Structure formats: C-alpha cells, structure tokens
Amino acid sequence: MAAREAALQMLYALELGGQDAAQIERWYVAAHPLAPAVRERAAALIDTAVRQRERSEDLIRRYSHGWKLERISLIDRSLLKLACAELLSEPASAWSEAIQACAQLARRFSQPEAQRFLRGVLEAIADELRAAPVA
C-alpha cells in the first residue's frame, strides 16, 4: 500500500501541472524517503499511469456516467488513473486487489461518498477489459 500511496501523491502533483513525472518523483523522494522496493513500485505505477493516460481517461469518461472528467475532483481523478494503470498493466487476477486498494486510499484521501463511485467506475472498466479479446 505504501507504493500506491506514494504513487497517488505523485500523480496528484502531476495532475496539478507545472512539472513532469521525473521532476515530481525526484521532489517526492527527497521529501519522503522510500525503501528501494517501494520507490521502484511507485515509479512503475507512475510510469504506467503517464504512458496509459489517454486510454485511462477514455475509459474513465466512458464509465463515469453523468460526469465530465474535468468535474471529477482532482484526488478522485488521480485515484481512478492510478487504478487504471494497474488494470491496464497487471493480470486480471490482480484487478480486485487494485480496486480494493483504490477504495482504501479513497477512505483516507477523498470524500466518503466517493468510494462507491470510484468502485463502480473501476468495476465497469474491469468488466470491459475482461471482455476484450486478447491480442
């Protein structure tokens, strides 16, 4: 969970704008020293989130019924993009853990009512990815 939390905080800073992912990672690690394994996992999550940004945003738009991406709070967008990075890069067997981790992070960093929304969007995305033909 430490790597996901660090990745969330870095992704949030990235969403604020003004710096690229490498600058944010350097700043974050200097301010919050991380164990090497945690740092590596957080960096991998950020890298995937950046590389998959367009696809993640398309999926989030598709399943956040009644919400424009820009109207979703910054922390909730960051949580969704972080979880999407895992859904798009990890085997399906790990998706439930990624969605549960998102809900746990939402309990800590977001509004109570956001948990159900985030879980619903991510479950719908996972359903679509499961149904997609394997390339």
What does the pLDDT look like over 36-90, one tens digit per residue? 999 999 999 999 999 999 999 999 999 998 899 999 999 999 999 999 999 999 9
Check whether 135 has a pLDDT greater than 60.
no
The CATH code for residues 2-131 is: 1.10.940.10
Read off the pTM.
0.93
Residue 32 gets the label, from left (phi > 0), alpha (psi -120 to 50) or beta, of: beta
* pLDDT band of 126, cuts 50, 70, 90: very high
Q: How far apart are CA 8 and CA 45, in angstroms?
A: 9
Check whether 133 has a pLDDT greater than 80.
no
The token pair at 44 is 């991998």
The vertex-76 CA angle with 109 and 97, nearest 5°, equals 80
Q: Give the count of alpha carbons within 13 A of 119, CB side only.
A: 14
Q: What percent of the chain has pLDDT over 70?
A: 98
